[in-house]
Amino acid sequence: MRDFYGETLQTPMMLGTARFPSPTMMEAAFRSSGASVATVSLRRERGAGQAFWEMVRGLGVHLLPNTAGCHSAREAITTAQMAREYFGTDWIKLEVIGHADTLQPDPFGLLEAAEALCADGFKVFPYTTEDQVLAARLIDAGCRVLMPWGAPIGSGMGLNNIHGLRTLRAAFPDVAMVVDAGLGLPSHAAQAMELGFDAILLNTAVAEAEDPPTMARAFALAAEAGALARTSGPMIARDMAVPSTPVIGKAWL
């Protein structure tokens, strides 16, 4: 697994902490998933109470605060600075939302905020699209991780642009990449890992399941299966059928 700002994650699973029916259920889902990273929103956690914060810290995973809900570079930068003080980490998942309905990232605000935060010593995980030009600009700004969306946040639609994600992965082979947002089924996670991504990040698909811990475990197993499939050297798809039984030497009746 690739390096994430000097850290090697034990599993390719990242999980959000929002939308769970209870803190206890959230904790159970994390234990079941074996997630290496927990994303937390400053705006949410500051109002959740010290007990919730202690529970999150007790998970023993890497903490990735995010700037969820920010719609401008200035707002995201301020939120990131507050998150660093509150959570005690320079990791930040950078979100600058540009469209109210799709929650698509604002590429201009995202790049502006990324440049400022990288210059300020943050280790930025930008929530972005699969656009290669934007990806190159973010890397030039100092980002060492990219988090392209699979589909709109919370939609559960899976990977909307497989070609775009595949070409993005191929264009920057040495950059750690996480498919973030839109994953609804464990099969989506396996597909992302089969494409060569290093991790997945999800929240809603687990939190809104009837049985969050079991769904979290399903996603973890799917991500592991996809990663193994990628590294095992999968066969190339063909246009024609190829018999699995050799025809050479076969008796013709």
Q: Which residues are annotated as a binding site for 1-deoxy-D-xylulose 5-phosphate?
A: 154, 181-182, 203-204
**Cβ contact 110:131 at 8 Å:** no
Q: What are the distances in angstroms from CA 36 to CA 30, 67, 82, 126, 227? A: 9, 20, 23, 18, 15
How far is residue 88 CA from its own chain's centroid? Answer: 21
Q: Give catalytic status of residue 250 as yes or no.
A: no
SS3 179: strand
Known binding residues are 154, 181-182, 203-204
Residues 225, 235: Cα–Cα separation, whole Å: 15
Catalytic member of 62, 93, 123, 217: 93
- Going through 62-135 in order, the beta strands assigned E by DSSP cover 62-66, 91-94, 123-128
Question: Catalytic site residues?
Answer: 93
